[in-house]
Amino acid sequence: MGSPFKDHHRHHPSLAKKLIPWTFYAMIPLVLFRVYFYPFALHHTTTPILSSSSFVSPPPSLLEEETSCDFTSGKWVPDKRGPLYNGSTCGTIKEGQNCIAHGRPDRGYLYWRWKPKQCKLPRFEPNTFLQLLRNKHLAFVGDSMARNQLESLLCMLSSVSAPNLVYRDGGENKFRRWHFGSHNFSISVYWSPFLVKGVEKSNTGPNHNQLYLDHVDERWAADMNGIDMVVLSIGHWFLHPAVYYEGEQVLGCHYCPGLNHTEIGFYDVLRKAIKTTLKALIDRKRANGNGIGAFVTTFSPAHFEGDWDKFGACPKTKPYREGEKTLEGMDAEMRQIEVEEVEAAKMNSIQLDRFRLEALDVTKLSLMRADGHPGPYMHPFPFANGVTERVQNDCVHWCLPGPIDTWNEILLEVIKKWEYESRREE
Ligand X SMILES: *[C@@H]1O[C@H](CO)[C@@H](O)[C@H](O)[C@H]1NC(C)=O
Instruction: Provide the minimum distance between the beta carbon of 420 and ligand X in the complex, in angstroms, as a whole number.
Output: 22
Asked if 53 interacts with ligand X (CB under 6 A), we say yes
Picking from 299, 414, 412, the residue whose alpha carbon sits closest to that of residue 361 is 299
Asked if 260 interacts with ligand X (CB under 6 A), we say yes
Cα–Cα dist 320/365, whole Å: 10
**Mutual orientation of helices 404-425 and 144-158 as an angle, nearest 10°?**
80
Instruction: Provide the minimum distance between the beta carbon of 188 and ligand X in the complex, in angstroms, as a whole number.
Output: 11
144 is catalytic: yes
Asked if 176 interacts with ligand X (CB under 6 A), we say no
Looking at 86, 182, 348, 422, which residue binds ligand X (CB under 6 A)? 86
Instruction: Provide the minimum distance between the beta carbon of 242 and ligand X in the complex, in angstroms, as a whole number.
Output: 18
Decide whether 51 or 204 has the Cβ nearer to ligand X.
51
Decide whether 72 or 131 has the Cβ nearer to ligand X.
131
397 is catalytic: yes
Q: What is the contact mask toward ligand X in residues 129 to 168, using x (rule: CB under 6 A)?
A: ------xxx-------------------------------
Tally Cβ neighbours within 10 Å of residue 236: 22
Tally Cβ neighbours within 10 Å of residue 200: 21
The single-letter DSSP state of residue 202 is -
Instruction: Provide the minimum distance between the beta carbon of 269 and ligand X in the complex, in angstroms, as a whole number.
Output: 19
Cα–Cα dist 129/178, whole Å: 15
Q: Which of 144, 188, 349, 366 is catalytic?
A: 144
Looking at 51, 203, 204, 351, which residue binds ligand X (CB under 6 A)? 51
Cβ neighbours of residue 328 under 8 Å, at least 6 residues apart? none
Question: What is the Cβ-side half-sphere exposure of residue 229, based on CA atoms within 13 angstroms?
Answer: 22
394 is catalytic: yes
**Mutual orientation of helices 13-25 and 329-348 as an angle, nearest 10°?**
110
Asked if 88 interacts with ligand X (CB under 6 A), we say yes
- Residue type for position 19: L
Cα–Cα dist 395/370, whole Å: 8
Q: What is the contact mask toward ligand X in residues 210 to 249, using x (rule: CB under 6 A)?
A: ----------------------------------------
Instruction: Provide the minimum distance between the beta carbon of 333 and ligand X in the complex, in angstroms, as a whole number.
Output: 29
Looking at 57, 173, 184, 336, which residue binds ligand X (CB under 6 A)? 184
The answer to whether residues 396 and 373 touch, using CB atoms and an 8 Å cutoff, is yes
- CA dihedral (165, 169, 171, 176) in degrees, to 10, reads -50
What amino acid positions are annotated as catalytic residues? 144, 394, 397
Q: Which residues bind ligand X (CB under 6 A)?
A: 50-53, 86, 88-89, 135-137, 184, 186, 260
